[in-house]
Structure 1
């Protein structure tokens, strides 16, 4: 069936999110490796995405790892530089779907404070028909509950939804609920999928 709504992840789908790459550019690869080996920064970020306060989590982590206080300050103060740049083709696809009257929802692991920071730069983050932001929901992908919450809020489920995400575990969790899914490996592949589903014409998916 043709999906009734399209669900976008944000990190690495609409906005690049590559903390290792960013820190390589700031402190060099060797020191970045030391940093990421000493601190599970992705787990730290999951805490923020689960709804904990961004500044409080960074302050606590810096207190536990004083040798990396300067690097953690970079994570806090230059977070927006890490969440960059926008993936412009994906942004155009989102707008094209909405121009055709197709509802577009976010389903994203994102902190409460960091989403506010990002939305000041990226206006398209305020343009979703419905927002499903993990920090506000208190649960992160791939927990089944976050997908269930979207279904309950929208009244849509199963093949009525098509979802793209760059992480296979998040895709698998959606597929387990019967959603149509697309593992995002580049905007062109996502564009082609939307055309094949009849959601966009080829000239609208550029």
Structure 2
């Protein structure tokens, strides 16, 4: 092997290690807690969260549209895909925000006036570690009687995920005067600030 070939091999190894380390820095989990505009807004204000994307998951319809989701017959829930840096915010903290600040996990197939399976509380895990962490957080919240009722959040392995239409992305940021959002989102952000002051960005 020539010196040039050796250098190229070393460069490839270094790049591989660097890319692997970068990949380890971020983790993704898919969460559903009612209208995705609301849940998206909460996580966009959590320190350590790198990206939030609204989508559909948990059902059996390929490439669903928002109109199909609204019928409640696709099996899918409105969800957000949360990408975060575990060095800055742990999965446990992400899930605590999910349960305490983003929605009511004790109501089955509804959030407020939004009724239907598309609004169900659901965690779509992509690793056994995520599943076990979710179970641990749920058990603790139930044991501590944090809510008036028991948590009914569905735990399901993530199989298919579909990004929602572009007009749903960053919805509250682009539509700050939308009446539904003005009614629903500020109380959730207030909970975020109250219960997670060290993580709330605004």
- For normalisation by structure 1, the TM-score amounts to 0.28
Structure with the higher fraction of residues in strand conformation:
2
Structure with the higher fraction of residues in helix conformation:
1
Structure exhibiting the larger radius of gyration computed from Cα positions? 2
- For normalisation by structure 2, the TM-score amounts to 0.28
